[in-house]
Chain A
């Protein structure tokens, strides 16, 4: 339900109408400018940089042909593809089973398993990799379990699998959350066994989500360099090459070319995903009954075993990272100390990096949630400026298809252009915040839009009949009602900003170095203990923020529900 603004305009006093228009049109225009600056221009800059042949930058058509024909490039591409495919082949089925266990069985303590399985989201991708070194490196705790050390293909695959597991899980959890009990009743009354019911009911309803999870894991893996940098050894991948070309050799053109290659799978899968989504009709009809799994001891035992196994593996990895950050001198002096937390004497940025990260995450969460939520409100609840709305919708979907690595490269190229007046922002905190908001915009915007769609358009109509300006209505009515969703967005943006390294690595300056970047730098300098300590700090900070916001959200929800219940009694 949307509100027709234009016909109502003459019914009200001039200044209210002006304020109204300023809020609606101004807000949308501002959002459009922001999206153009933060998403479109940097992406265009990549293509411009990749195809312009500046000397010594490794770009241009000739360099492109040379690069794409070189044996080294084929080797890197082959490595990247085989890693990404292996990771998806491991993660997606496992995440599906895990999600199925949580949504369609009666195993106990589901909340606990869910919490554990989402833990890797709270830490940068380097954390599982560092833990793997301590577990399976040459001096690893469990080294004897493997015939070879962890450095190389399997190290990257395992690290990426842990890093991407919760991402795939979240998609599949929501896909498996909805089921129509009537279909299952019908199936069993027709004599179909559980396997048959799964094949003809559950699988068709969820295969699109499986594809989406497949694409997400593939894209995350192929564009991540945090894991390969730590456990890759001499097994190199494309993302690492782009990182080395830009950060190490200052060959921006070469970085742009590889960035374009890395953009391809993301764009392709995004396109196919959108197409599939359109083909799949409404998953649930209005008359659907909520599916409640029936007890089955054998099924539940099997799924509990899988869930326990996955959770145990995740806990071992994360626990190992925390433990290794406390060990004084691995592996010869295992006494525990906080030595690795004395960052100021080591490379990488130390406590400044941590403080910067918290500042950056707070700014991203607060500014980002305000901008994104207001933008979503304007798009969902006002009807004028159809073209503007469409442009905004389209643009706000782009970031989902752009890997952080590519976005970060685009920022370097666009904001570092000589002659760009925005160059002053380069290396500053404002640009890091902008880039992080842009990077995580789509998911946050979708959360906001979903929450807003659940609100009846009558609210706006009531505001209109009371001649209350829309922005007042937005601040006084919509925001309080949607506060739980807003807190969700804040939490998502905060955690993402704390852990991200993919775009930030190209954008920081010594003053604005971030904790996740410091993890990478410390590992590079051989200070693995310090890297583990900083990762642990990031994990704890994200966890604390998440718990705080989840608690606040729960409290608010209770209050808002109380309000809803009291209302009819009046």
Chain B
């Protein structure tokens, strides 16, 4: 028969396109920046030629929601590069397999899960940064902010972009840090005032810095990695580290419980904590989970690590849901007045 035959042939052709190499395919969920994925994957696969990484990448909030939604039928084998506060939530849901990587001894005690063996192990630290476009600032006569409080000045009305904390890990660490450093009522009052100046809330943590670099909005609340990268590419950016202190997060790795490829996933965890991997992270981050390897980044001050706030991760992950629903109630959906400058 003409039609069914052709159909069958075409469908099987589609399927054969999907089949590929024989190596163990490890499904790895990540919120790492896309630019980092290639070199990390290459390095891991070079050290473990029998394993192939299949990335599933999205923003922190989305990867977290996806993992939680798949709780009963996990699709991921491992997580490489997700906020520790998100991993803590997965751990509370019993979704992580505790595992001590070979090089666990080299990891700072404050950059890993306290339990033994730990549910997650840190890779590096990323922290809040303000990206400030100097060309646009001059054009529009904006003074350079030096603190978080400065951002509520009326002169910045509609000029600031920040990530939506519900979808972006960077957005959440900002909100969590403001609530911790200013105190809860003052933190919300601060965000109320800041909200008046926000031109847009965006989906990802790096987009505000990219928008600032392009001058689309002169000020982006972001993190240091895109700021440093964009500055190196020649964007007219000043990297502002607000004087009240920087909110921060640990980027970490974990093995998903019940994965049929647990052995391969554990080898990924081994690699992620190894000095070889730290050499990779070093290019992108100034603070690493294993001390003594990091090199200072010329775009960041030498005392960068001291500027990080005292961060209570247990508090942040325990209250994540309430913080986000309060944030949504206050600023999401009803923000059309702000969008029009």
User: Which residues of A does B touch, CB under 8 Å?
Assistant: 22-23, 26-27, 30, 56, 71-72, 75-76, 79, 133, 137-139, 148-149, 151-152, 233-236, 247-250, 329-333, 344-348, 359, 363, 366-367, 370-371, 374, 418, 428-430, 433, 471, 474-475, 510-512, 524-528
Contact = CB atoms under 8 A, between A and B. Distances in A.
B211 A526 contact: yes
B107 interface: no
B216 interface: yes
Given A235-B339, A329-B234, A22 B3 contact: no
A348 B215 CA distance: 23
Given A250-B65, A429-B14, A430-B15, A234 B338 contact: yes
Contact of A148 (B61, B73, B207, B340): B340
Contact of A248 (B38, B167, B334): B167
A108 B6 CA distance: 45
B200 A525 contact: no
Contact of B35 (A331, A346, A474): A346
Contacts of A366: 10
Nearest to B35: A345
B339 A233 contact: yes
B80 to A, nearest CB: 14
25 contacts: A23-B2, A26-B4, A56-B69, A72-B333, A79-B336, A139-B216, A151-B199, A234-B200, A235-B339, A250-B69, A332-B214, A332-B215, A332-B234, A332-B236, A345-B38, A346-B34, A347-B33, A348-B34, A366-B10, A428-B14, A430-B15, A433-B14, A510-B55, A511-B18, A524-B204
Interface string B205-240: 011111100111100000000000000011110000
B272 to A, nearest CB: 20
A76 B3 contact: no
Contacts of A137: 216
A28 B44 CA distance: 52
Q: Which of A26, A76, A332, A344 has most B Cβ within 10 Å?
A: A332
B2 A471 contact: yes
A333 B234 CA distance: 9
Given A247-B62, A430-B15, A370 B38 contact: no
A151 B1 contact: no
Interface of A, helix, strand, loop or mixed by DSSP: helix
Interface string B3-16: 11011001101110
A430 B8 CA distance: 11
B333 A332 contact: no
A250 B66 contact: yes
Contact of B341 (A148, A247, A329, A429): A148
Interface residues of B, number: 59
Interface in B19-67: 33-35, 38, 54-57, 61-62, 65-66
Given A152-B336, A234-B201, A525-B206, A248 B2 contact: no
B203 interface: yes
Q: Which of B6, B210, B214 has most A Cβ within 10 Å?
A: B214
Contacts of B66: 250
Give the top 7 A-B pairs by smallest Cβ distance, nearest first: A347-B34, A526-B207, A526-B210, A250-B69, A234-B339, A234-B335, A233-B339
Interface in B146-193: 166-167
Contact of A152 (B2, B3, B340): B340
Contacts of A248: 61-62, 65, 166-167
Given A329-B234, A347-B57, A510-B54, 7 more contacts: A56-B69, A75-B334, A133-B216, A139-B215, A363-B14, A370-B6, A526-B211
Q: Which of B4, B135, B236 has most A Cβ within 10 Å?
A: B4
A439 B54 CA distance: 30
A248 B333 CA distance: 15
A330 B210 CA distance: 11
Contacts of B7: 367, 370-371
Given A363-B14, A433-B14, A527 B210 contact: yes
B333 A76 contact: yes
Contact of B17 (A23, A151, A359, A526): A359
